[in-house]
Structure 1
Amino acid sequence: MKINGTTIDDPKDPYLIAEIGVNHFDIAEKHEIPPLDAAKKMVTEAAEAGVDAVKFQSYSADRLASKQSPAYWDTEEESTETQYELFEQYDDFGRDEFEEIARWTHENHDIDFLSTPFDFEAVDYLEDLVPAYKIASADITNHPLIRHIAQKEKPILLSTGASTIGEIDDAVQVIEEETPDPELALLHCILQYPTDPENANLGMIHHLDQVYPEYTAGYSDHVPPDENMNTLLNSIFHGAQVIEKHFTLDKSLKGNDHYHAMDERDTQIFCENLRILNTTTGIFRKKPINVEHDSRKHARRSLVAAKKLDEGEKITREDISIKRPGTGISPEMIEILIGRSTQSKVRKDEIITWDKVL
């Protein structure tokens, strides 16, 4: 698939999305700066760390959740008891703010601006701002919203957390009905905040790739970062070509999505480890490479005279040793050599070549 001219088809070069989400509100409060300034600061940090895109969340608490909607996250990390109460704290941004962030991102950084819309109004005002739409796992059965997004005929990133293959099939069918041959990525995701490492189930990425080979497979991660960012690296091993990970400037902040997010250092570590991984991965077709040229000649073996051989002497197995280097007759030709006669004298321990035999 392509997003804003970027082709996503190299298993060694995933499209990395830093999901700022609504974390900029907490950063703004901590640093006592306006939320817009905090959002821009986070965009800059993410861009400099090496991401391909930043992503926000566009929603209104009133249109997203009822006041009775219970929490589904770890309340020891995020103590808010209802979804409405949590979302209400972070829904101050609308069309004007996202237009400002999108414009500022494009003017200052060579990365994409994305946002997940959670209602029809957000879909519409984001249309001119984003090169692709992200659909959250929780909306995979929200066919009216999916259909409205698909009608925009932009690339779609669809998270599949807590979904059956049947539910994914239904969502994909809705998209295909509105957009023939869609640009679509299906992101494996576990809808647990945070996700315990043993629940990550990255092998499911393979299953998505097998069931939907015509679409791109990816991963949306909620596992708290380890010091080497092994979960994200492992997702590459399992075929993720799009990676989405929550992003923060302070992992110690309580609440919302800071406690399972990566920061700028984590992002740099992942990008550097991915570079090293790619360096050692190399090509996918087995063949000798240039640096093995001398080794092929000198570390392999040849057929060598085990004793002095006179001209016209018939060669027996006892007359032959197998020694390095490999510049003479290969050991795999030994049965062809046995029984032939020498055409000239061959010294003991001399490499036998075809011009010395009849």
Structure 2
Amino acid sequence: MQTLKREFPGIPIGFSDNGLSIAGAVAAAAMGAVYIEKHMTIDRALYGPDHKASLIPSEFAQVVSLVREAESAMGDGKKTVGEDESKFRPIFHKALVAMHDIPAGAMIMPEMLRSQRPCRGIPAKEYYQALGRTAKVSVSAGEFLQWDHLN
């Protein structure tokens, strides 16, 4: 696939597979094949050479399903949070936590914070937005920092 794409830039590349395996079609889809050809029969016992090397309808449906899944897994090049990930985001993502007691009026400095799971406060990815702000209230050591704690 990669060789054909390199040798023929701008031309849609396909994959022709005359075997019973579905792995080749799925791999080709993952590598960017635009077209995939698989032989299909209603009965492998029918007369002729193609029937014995063809997929039956249920196998063909499995190929289509796995190819679609591979295409979906490849994404569209845009980084987005999927529905599955958003359910688990609070568990797997980290939040900012006070390393020691922070008195009201103190300016938030790097040495005051650490990140910790689960995400029950300001997400760790917003660390730089929290730095330099002042605490509106006292925050106890080990407490998750919240935006309403800060000016």
Whether TM exceeds 0.5 here: the answer is yes
Q: Secondary structure at the match of 2:96?
A: strand
CA distance in 2, matches of 1:249, 1:355: 68
CA apart distance, 1:263: 3.7
Deviation string 1:136-185 (CA, Å, 9 cap, x unpaired) is: xxxxxxxxxxxxxxxxxxxxxxxxxxxxxxxxxxxxxxxxxxxxxxxxxx
- Which of 229, 244, 249 is the matching residue for 2:44? 249
**Larger Rg computed on CA atoms:** 1
Please say if residues 307 and 348 of structure 1, whose CA atoms lie closer than 8 Å, have aligned partners that are also in contact: yes
Gap runs ≥5 in structure 1: 1-201
Report runs of 4+ in structure 1 exceeding 6 Å deviation.
none
CA apart distance, 1:203: 5.0
Q: Secondary structure at the match of 2:135?
A: coil
Superposed CA RMSD in Å reads 3.7
Where do 1:58-69 residues align within 5 Å? none
- Which of 140, 143, 149 is the matching residue for 1:347? 140
Is structure 2 residue 22 aligned with structure 1 residue 229? yes
Classify 1:326/1:261 alpha carbon distance in 2 versus 1 (closer, same or farther; 3 Å).
same
Please say if residues 95 and 124 of structure 2, whose CA atoms lie closer than 8 Å, have aligned partners that are also in contact: yes
How many residues were matched structurally?
A: 146
CA distance in 1, matches of 2:132, 2:23: 60
For residue 304 of structure 1, what is the aligned residue in structure 2? 97
Identify which of structures 1 and 2 has the higher relative contact order when contacts are C-alpha pairs closer than 8 Å and 6+ apart. Answer: 2
Please say if residues 107 and 135 of structure 2, whose CA atoms lie closer than 8 Å, have aligned partners that are also in contact: yes
Deviation string 1:179-208 (CA, Å, 9 cap, x unpaired) is: xxxxxxxxxxxxxxxxxxxxxxx5566368
Where do 1:134-153 residues align within 5 Å? none
Where do 1:1-358 residues align within 5 Å? 203=2, 206=5, 210=9, 212=11, 217-221=13-17, 223=18, 225-226=19-20, 228-237=21-30, 238-241=32-35, 243=37, 245=39, 249-250=44-45, 258=49, 261-265=52-56, 268-279=58-69, 281-282=71-72, 284-285=75-76, 286=78, 287-358=80-151
Q: Secondary structure at the match of 1:297?
A: helix
Normalised by the length of structure 2, the TM-score is: 0.66
Normalised by the length of structure 1, the TM-score is: 0.33
Query: Which has the larger share of strand?
Result: 1
Please say if residues 205 and 219 of structure 1, whose CA atoms lie closer than 8 Å, have aligned partners that are also in contact: no
Gap runs ≥5 in structure 2: none
